[in-house]
Amino acid sequence: MEAFFKNNKESFDRLSPNEASWDSIKAGIHKKKKRRKRFVFLKMAAAILLVLGLSIGYFTDSNQSYSVFEDLSMASPHGETIALDPSSNKYTLVQFWESGNLLCTEDNCYYYLPAYEKYKSRGFEIYAISLDKNKESWVLGIEENNLPWIHVSDLKGWESPVCIECNISKVPTSFLLDQKGAVIARDLNAEDLDGTLDHLLAQN
């Protein structure tokens, strides 16, 4: 660019003797370029801050621990009290579901069940908390779908204390816990559950 200004200075001044000199035009061009660079830099900085903010928010939410999980015990369909004990497995999926909900049934049948069968022997467990109020419907949902993992409920539905403390607003909702009880992932979809477990258990 500097060579272009130098090589064409005399020609420009000769063609436009009564207008601003080539040096003035060049200075103006440089100012515009600086302003443009500053604008691009500010846009990039804003984008980086936005991404960092979202990332911090995600990891803050994902790596938190819920105190209710620390001493949670609920009744099984057979009346046995079963405690949630993340330390007994490498990873535990705490799942909130409801037998009459079609989405919950699809989640259980099509990818929670295959993942459970694949990773159970490698240290994966599911602790399923039902939001049913009717015990017969709850038990029937388990039996019809052949769901072999841990099932518990207090049959209080959406008024269940654990449901309220975890701010459950939809089913299915799930939390993947490590051995210390920390939440490392939430609401993994069909494509992510198997891949997440494969990656995590490969490191252990």
* pLDDT tens track for 145-193: 889 999 999 999 999 999 999 999 999 999 999 999 999 999 987 678 8
In angstroms, what CA-CA distances link 134 with 30, 73, 155, 172?
75, 19, 7, 18
| Among 43, 62, 81, residue at a domain's last position | 62
Does the structure show a pLDDT above 90 at 66? no
Q: Do 75 and 58 fall within a single domain? A: no
Query: What domain range includes position 94?
Result: 67-202
In angstroms, what CA-CA distances link 26 with 10, 12, 18, 46, 97?
13, 11, 16, 30, 69
> Is pLDDT larger for residue 36 or for residue 196?
196
Q: Residue 192: its pLDDT value, please? A: 85
How far, in Å, CA of 102 to CA of 105, rounded? 5
Does the structure show a pLDDT above 50 at 57? no
Q: For the residues of 57-126, what is the DSSP string, one character each?
A: HHHHHHT---GGGTT-EEE-TTS-EEE--GGGSSEEEEEEE-TT-HHHHHHIIIIIHHHHHHHGGGTEEE
pTM, 2 dp: 0.68
Q: Do 78 and 35 fall within a single domain? A: no
- DSSP letter at 203 equals T
Residue 32: burial class (beta carbons within 10 Å; 0-12, 13-18, 19+): exposed
| Among 62, 79, 103, residue at a domain's last position | 62
Q: Do 109 and 129 fall within a single domain? A: yes
User: What are φ and ψ of residue 76, in 5° steps?
Assistant: -85, 175
Q: Do 186 and 85 fall within a single domain? A: yes
Q: Residue 58: its pLDDT value, please? A: 38
Q: Per the structure, how many domains does the chain have?
A: 2
Q: Do 161 and 95 fall within a single domain? A: yes
Q: Residue 124: its pLDDT value, please? A: 96
Q: Do 36 and 110 fall within a single domain? A: no
User: What are φ and ψ of residue 202, in 5° steps?
Assistant: -70, -20
pLDDT tens-place string over residues 130-158: 999 999 999 999 998 889 999 999 999 99
Please give the share of the chain, as a percent, with pLDDT higher than 70. Answer: 64
